[in-house]
Amino acid sequence: MPAGSARAPRIQDMSDTSYYRHHIFFCLNQRANGEACCADHRAQEAFDHCKAAVKAAGLAGAGGVRVNKAGCLDRCAGGPVAVVYPEAVWYQFVDAADIDEIVERHLQKGEVVERLRLPAHIGR
Ligand code: FES
């Protein structure tokens, strides 16, 4: 279908057809050259904790939440990091309690956890 066609679906029109309500991606990247990376900050442990918490809360699956692994998200200086879509809210976290708060407030209630937001200027 040609771009700009009146029949082409627009992104904002597709929100009610999304398979998952939220997607959360955790960077699990490991670097061997000594540069900063999320794997050096227990990212795998946080990912595993999030998967278990989402499942325990009954949020996993179609219409709910999908927890996914990701490679480098290019925001390494703030690591470990995760990003929640469709809101595109970036988080940095320290421990399991932080992950629990993201699950309970953002993934369950739809509230952004402001205290864990990754500052906008943080990159690689
Ligand atoms: S290593 Fe995690 S964002 Fe780059």
The pLDDT value recorded for residue 18 is 84
Q: What pLDDT shows up at residue 11? A: 56
The number of C-alpha atoms within 13 Å of 30 and in the hemisphere containing its C-beta is: 6
Among 41, 74, 118, residue to substitute to test ligand 1 (most atoms within 8 Å of Cβ): 74
- Ligand 1 atom having least distance to the Cα of 78: 3
Question: Quick one: which of 86, 83, 87, 85 has its CA closest to 116?
Answer: 83
Superfamily, domain 19-116:
Glutaredoxin (3.40.30.10)
Q: Evaluate if residue 4 carries a pLDDT over 60.
A: no
Radius of gyration of the chain (CA): 16
Cis link prior to 2 (omega < 30° from 0)? no
Report whether pLDDT(98) > 50: yes
Write the pLDDT tens digit of every residue in 41-91. Answer: 999 999 999 999 999 999 999 999 999 999 999 999 999 999 999 999 999
> pTM of the predicted model, to two decimals?
0.88
Q: What is the pLDDT of residues 10-43, one digit of tens each?
A: 655 555 678 999 999 999 999 999 888 999 999 9
Domains of the chain, residue spans: 19-116
In this structure, the residue with its CA closest to atom 1 of ligand 1 is: 37
* Region of poorest pLDDT, from 1-5, 12-16, 85-89, 112-116: 1-5
Q: Please report, to the nearest 10 degrees, the dihedral formed by the alpha carbons of residues 117, 118, 119, 124 taken in order.
A: -170
Q: Name all contacts of 51-56 with Cβ < 8 Å and 24+ positions apart.
A: 53/99, 53/100, 53/103, 54/103, 54/107
| Positive or negative torsion for Cα 89, 77, 75, 41 | negative
User: Is the confidence at residue 6, as pLDDT, over 70?
Assistant: no
β-bridge partners, 82: 26, 91
CA–CA distance, 115 with 110 (Å, rounded to integer):
15
In the predicted structure, residue 107 carries a pLDDT above the cut 60? yes
Task: Give the pLDDT confidence score for residue 1 in this predicted structure.
Answer: 46
In this structure, are residues 52 and 93 in contact, taking their beta carbons and an 8 Å threshold?
A: no
